[in-house]
Amino acid sequence: MNHLEFRNVSVAFGHGPRRFVAVDDVSLSVPAGKIVGLVGESGSGKSTLARAAVGLCEPSAGSVLLDGVQVSHARGANARLRQRIQMIFQDPSSCLNPKLTIGQSVAEALDAAAKRAGTRTGRAQRAAETARLLESVQLPAARAADLPAALSGGQRQRVALARALAAAPGVILADEITSALDVSVQGSVLNLLRHIQRELGLGILFVSHNLAVVRYLCDEVAVMQSGRLVEHGETMTVLDHPRQDYTKTLLQAVPRIGEPLFAPATGMIQISEGAR
């Protein structure tokens, strides 16, 4: 069982007049074995929510639970439990330490998992495990000795996935992991993620601004706007029959291949962008 739950989570930055609420009272659950898509525009708080789950920032109110155990603001055993939530980031150029070989990066996660389990892994065992993980993300095991600079963007994202898997996770948070990749590479990363998720029965929170990608990959979709969760449901239900106006606006704005964006010669501008 690996069930991630956000219960009335708020995240605020700053104090006094500069206090800024990035996430406002969000409750969301990522059931074991499901991919939940989290969509919204920049500044909607979707990434902040994901970061709050792993402790890169802590909720200012509410709590994050894994299998019913509170892991936010946790110490000791619960903090170790939180390591079963792993995260993959957007930028392939910054996701790996440029001074460590990709084998070392993966091994670090293996060590963390071993430490959590209270076991010790020998050098040979660790090397074998690293090789197996690299192969599971379709990279030759021999590349373990390479530095990240020798890898393409898509390959680095796959190493990041291998590193997350090495930590024996129950839930993976994927934060815009294909946004910086070309479409040709995006497809293979999506296929890989889906394949591994099905094989290991992981829960995934897939944060993205790309509705088409979320539609393809996710079982459920949650929509965030200005820090609040506005709609959540089964993917095809939400996308085919959105209930909220904001979700409808988002869906209408997505350009579709083969559909002209504008009827010829009619200005249909609606200034909805507020002054910032």
Segment 81 to 100, residues that bind other proteins, using CB under 8 A: 83, 85-87, 89-91, 94-100
**Residue 175 contacts residue 47 (beta carbons within 8 Å):** yes
Q: What are phi and psi of 75, to 5 degrees?
A: -130, 165
Q: What are phi and psi of 95, to 5 degrees?
A: -80, -15
Output the smallest distance, CB 148 to other proteins, in A.
9
14, containing H or E segment? none
Query: 61 or 212: whose CB is closer to other proteins?
Result: 212
Output the smallest distance, CB 25 to other proteins, in A.
16
Which residues, numbered 241-270, are part of the site for other proteins (CB under 8 A)?
249-250, 253-262, 264-265, 267-270
| Residue 191 in contact with other proteins, rule: CB under 8 A | yes
| Residue 271 in contact with other proteins, rule: CB under 8 A | yes
DSSP state letter for 16: G
Which residues, numbered 134-163, are part of the site for other proteins (CB under 8 A)?
152, 154-155, 160, 163
How far apart are alpha carbons 246 and 223 in whole angstroms?
A: 9
How far apart are alpha carbons 178 and 143 in whole angstroms?
A: 22
Q: Is 141 exposed, middle or buried (0-12, 13-18, 19+ CB in 10 A)?
A: middle
How far apart are alpha carbons 180 and 22 in whole angstroms?
A: 23
| Residue 190 in contact with other proteins, rule: CB under 8 A | yes
- Would you give the binding string for other proteins spanning residues 169-188, x where CB under 8 A is met? ------xx--x--xxxxxxx
Which residues, numbered 14-53, are part of the site for other proteins (CB under 8 A)?
17-18, 20, 22, 41-43, 46-48
| Residue 275 in contact with other proteins, rule: CB under 8 A | yes
| Residue 1 in contact with other proteins, rule: CB under 8 A | no
Residue 61's DSSP bridge partners are 10
3 state SS of 26: strand
Output the smallest distance, CB 129 to other proteins, in A.
15
Query: 124 or 271: whose CB is closer to other proteins?
Result: 271
| Residue 237 in contact with other proteins, rule: CB under 8 A | no
